[in-house]
Every structure is written in C-alpha cells, then in structure tokens.
C-alpha cells in the first residue's frame, strides 16, 4: 500500500482514507490511483447515437 500511495503521489494515510468504506475520494485521486496501477479512466458514450440526454433512462 505504501508503494501505491507513493506512485499515486499520496500519503499512505490519505490513500487508506480515500479507499475506506467511509471514504469519498475525489476524481483526481481516483485517477491518480488508477494511473499508479497502470489503468486510465475514460468517459465513453452510453450509446453512440444518443448524445443529448440520459440515454433514454
């Protein structure tokens, strides 16, 4: 966990807090952790043809 926190540019305590059940990590911190794990976050359209609403839901 210490290595992940360092790679994400966070403190170990901050990482534990963000990932705890009571945590509410920011998008920025979520992206940092994903990048440190070798992933990236991306937003993709729910449907290719629907670009104006909630996808019909």
pTM above 0.95, yes or no: no
pLDDT-based confidence at residue 47 (cuts at 50, 70, 90): confident
Q: Name residues whose C-beta falls within 8 Å of residue 55's C-beta, 6 or more positions apart in sequence.
A: 46, 47
Hey, what's the torsion of the CAs at 13, 19, 23, 26, to 10 degrees? 90
pLDDT bin (cut points 50, 70, 90) of residue 38 is: very high
The mean pLDDT of the chain is: 87
């Amino acid at each position: 966990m210490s290595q992940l926190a360092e790679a994400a540019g966070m403190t170990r305590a901050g990482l534990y807090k963000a990932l705890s059940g009571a945590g509410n990590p920011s998008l920025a911190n979520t992206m940092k952790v994903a990048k440190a794990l070798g992933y990236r976050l991306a937003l993709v359209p729910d449907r290719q043809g629907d670009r104006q609403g909630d996808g019909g839901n």
